[in-house]
């Protein structure tokens, strides 16, 4: 991100392919992510959208917030449908159908953390293993937000949700967050990256890299949800930035198996300031020992990535 200067914003395309008028909540992190993604990929793009928050809010019949082709799929088969579209376009190209003359068509499959980490993991793994040329984007708001804030396997330890409620017998979510970037990288695909809406130029740069590679690319987007996280609608970007600066959500990319941190941290910000800016962690305010353990886990995860970067692995 050191490559960007104060004029970088003026270099972005003015065209909007994810438009206003959708029904997302105020301060919706996933909606901000999708606007930036659409700006990065441009008009020559087909969106394959799993059931989830973003499918619900952008497609109340007969309206759509997308200005580009968009397909709705189930929770579980988004990567499979994207694979089929990619294969179909290859067939049309071999038959020299005229609409493929406009250059490469970007295919992006979009799913939330529940669709990606839980329900659709099988189809996603299969599509990555087969090497289809498409981008998979997971907008991770760390729970099944549109159906009632139920925990997913990407919900962080200690978070209170409707299916992992905090109380006398529970501290909230009981397991560690599933690491989607590691899982995708283990498929030995050409490109894996993490992004947040608080670092838009980094996000746009990584989406363009993902579109340029031949083969599958996986993007893990951190996307705060004010409704589910019980925080102010005006804190979305602040929380996304705090997640990076505390080490909760490291920004990195894996290019042909080579790991690199794209926003390296020397001194971590205190984790408790990030946690207690959200109502889902407020039950931990009197449990300093547990918060300290969470902070140790976060730093350990970050140092693992730093070690991979230095080793060139």
Task: Tell me how far apart the alpha carbons of residues 16 and 312 are, in angstroms, rounded to a whole number.
Answer: 38
Q: pTM of this prediction?
A: 0.95
Question: 68 CB contacts (<8 Å, ≥6 apart)?
Answer: 17, 38, 43, 45, 46, 47
The pLDDT of residue 313? 63
pLDDT value of residue 11: 75
Closest CA to 162 of 154, 152, 176, 153: 152
Beta-ladder partners of 252? 261
Mean pLDDT, 10 residues at a time, over the chain (313 residues)?
Answer: 63 87 95 96 96 94 93 96 96 77 88 97 98 98 96 98 95 96 98 97 95 97 98 98 98 97 94 98 96 97 95 72
User: 110 near 210, Cβ under 8 Å?
Assistant: no
For residue 78, what are the β-bridge partners? Answer: none
Q: What is the pLDDT of residue 100?
A: 56
């Amino acid at each position: 991100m050191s490559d960007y200067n104060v004029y970088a914003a003026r270099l972005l395309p003015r065209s909007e392919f994810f438009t206003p008028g959708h029904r997302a909540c105020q301060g919706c992190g996933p909606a901000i992510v999708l606007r930036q993604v659409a700006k990065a990929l441009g008009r020559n793009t087909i969106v394959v959208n799993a059931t989830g928050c973003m499918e619900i809010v952008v497609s109340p019949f007969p309206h759509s917030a997308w200005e580009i082709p968009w397909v709705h799929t189930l929770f579980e088969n988004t990567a499979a449908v994207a694979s089929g579209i990619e294969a179909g376009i290859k067939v049309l190209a071999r038959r020299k159908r005229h609409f493929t003359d406009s250059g490469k068509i970007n295919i992006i499959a979009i799913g939330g953390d529940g669709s990606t980490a839980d329900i659709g993991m099988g189809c996603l793994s299969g599509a990555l293993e087969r090497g289809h040329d498409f981008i998979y984007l997971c907008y991770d708001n760390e729970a099944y937000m549109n159906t009632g804030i139920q925990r997913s396997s990407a919900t962080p330890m200690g978070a209170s949700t409707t299916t992992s409620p905090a109380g006398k017998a529970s501290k909230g979510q009981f397991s560690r967050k599933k690491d989607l970037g590691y899982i995708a990288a283990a498929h030995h695909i050409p490109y894996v990256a993490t992004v947040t809406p608080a670092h838009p130029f980094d996000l746009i740069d990584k989406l363009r890299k993902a579109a340029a590679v031949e083969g599958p690319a996986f993007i893990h987007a951190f996307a705060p949800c004010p409704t589910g996280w019980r925080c102010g609608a005006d804190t979305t970007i602040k929380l996304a930035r705090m997640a990076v600066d505390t080490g909760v959500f490291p920004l990195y990319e894996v290019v042909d198996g080579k790991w690199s941190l794209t926003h390296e941290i020397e001194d971590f910000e205190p984790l408790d300031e990030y946690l207690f800016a959200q109502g889902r962690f407020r039950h931990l305010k009197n449990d300093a020992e547990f918060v300290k353990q969470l902070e140790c886990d976060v730093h350990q995860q970050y140092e693992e990535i730093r070690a991979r970067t230095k080793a060139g692995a």
